[in-house]
Amino acid sequence: MSKDAKANNTTKNQSEEQKQIKKQSSAKKETRAAKKAKKKAEKKYIRRFVPIWMKVLIVIVLSLFALMIGLIIGFSVLGEGSPLDVLKWETWQHIIDFVRDV
């Protein structure tokens, strides 16, 4: 076999290999697209156990509860007052009057 024939033969083998690689990569792309479409088609709507509005309401209620506990502890320990006095309107009116007069 001559050098030209060998070179021509290797060139053909390389081009065939490149074609096979392109086919495989395009097959992978098609497979990915098919999997993605299948996954999207199979996706079901999942009903939430606790709706979002209920979660927001729970967060607000728990925050108010934590605020009340903090006020009671702060007023009774730091202020040396009766713990439930902080929940009375007269106490807050006195605080507001004190702040306005200054």
Whether the pLDDT of residue 1 is over 60: the answer is: no
CA–CA distances in Å: residue 6 to residues 12, 34, 76: 10, 42, 98
pLDDT (0 to 100) of residue 44: 74
pLDDT digits (tens, 9 = 90+) for 28-64: 666 777 777 777 777 777 788 889 999 999 999 999 9
pTM comes to 0.50
Domain locations in the chain as residue ranges: 1-44, 52-101
CA distance linking residue 45 with residue 7, whole number of Å: 60
pLDDT digits (tens, 9 = 90+) for 3-29: 555 555 566 666 777 767 766 666 666
